[in-house]
Amino acid sequence: MTTTPVKSGYAFDNRSPEAEAQMRALEAFLDPITADRLAPILGPGATCWELGAGGGSVARLMSRVVGPGGRVIATDIEPSRLTPAGNLEVRQHDVRTGAPEGGPFDVIHARLVLLHLPERRRVLAELIGALAPGGWLVVEEFDCTAGLRVLAAPTDDAAKLFQQVMEATLGILQDRGADLAWAQDVHTEMVLAGLTDVDTITHSQSWAGGSAGASLHETNSRQLEPRLLATGLSPNQLEGFRELANDPAFASLSYQFVSTRGRRPGRGAVN
């Protein structure tokens, strides 16, 4: 394991002033889905790895479920927003350097991490290799291949502005090495790697202006502002986009969230 962070392809900076709001918005939208996916496979005494742990909400959920007989290792290249407690350990770690010490793991969870990494297929193979017999890997990503459909907007020009800024945002992610279609490939990759009981669910919902989901658009635009301006967008356009994200007359569909899990063959200590 290394304790030196490696420059990530991740376009967002966890140390920025907007990072906490971004994490809270993602947690509000995604944590209930993740909790449902983990519930059947997570039990007392399990050893877990939560990678790209962000603000730590999923790691804390895991630590409660596995109890004092279990162990949760939460890793991130920027772990300053993570707090160790009891059976929850925090480590600075870049997943591209391999698995941290403490495995093998009964449950490994990665949310919105691999799609940003050019090495995603190699990393996926290494995650599978870090599983204990009978252990589960859960990979959750946004499918960004389809543009976010505008459901309601105060004007046609407002709808066009939203689409323009979103296209620029996705272009920035691609330039940093993100694969916007990776979510569609995870199920197949798990099967080809020999995992069993592989299953996938998808989820999308409307985000009205002013909602936690829509606030993600505003915080993302602030984090990426220099790069967005470099694409030719103006400060006035970005301000108009942020006003839309807070306008109850506006609504769009969220990205499609794709959750895939698979099990390493064999029978481990926790099943």
Dump pLDDT digits (tens) for 158-195: 999 999 999 999 999 999 999 999 999 999 999 999 99
Could you give the count of Cα atoms lying within 13 Å of 98 in the half-sphere of its Cβ? 8
Give pLDDT, residue 270: 55
Strands of the sheet containing 206-208, edge to edge, are 150-152, 251-253, 206-208
Give pLDDT, residue 146: 77
Q: Which CATH class is domain 19-263?
A: alpha beta
Give pLDDT, residue 3: 34
User: Burial, 100: exposed, middle or buried (Cβ in 10 Å; 0-12, 13-18, 19+)?
Assistant: buried
Measured between alpha carbons, how far is residue 173 from residues 169, 224, 227 in Å?
Answer: 7, 10, 10
β-strand 131-143 against 71-76: which pairing, if any? unpaired
Model pLDDT for residues 118-172, shown as the tens digit of each residue: 999 999 999 999 999 999 999 999 999 977 899 999 999 999 999 999 999 999 9
Which residue type does 208 have?
A: A
Write the DSSP assignment of 171-232 as a string of letters: HHHHHTT--TTHHHHHHHHHHHTT-EEEEEEEE--EEETTSHHHHHHHHHHHHTHHHHHHTT
Which residues 6+ apart lie within 8 Å of 34 measured at CB? Answer: 58, 61, 109, 111, 138, 140, 259
Give pLDDT, residue 8: 47
CB atoms within 10 A of CB 250: 24
Place of tokens 């990393």: 123
| Stretches in the chain below the pLDDT threshold 70 | 1-17, 268-271
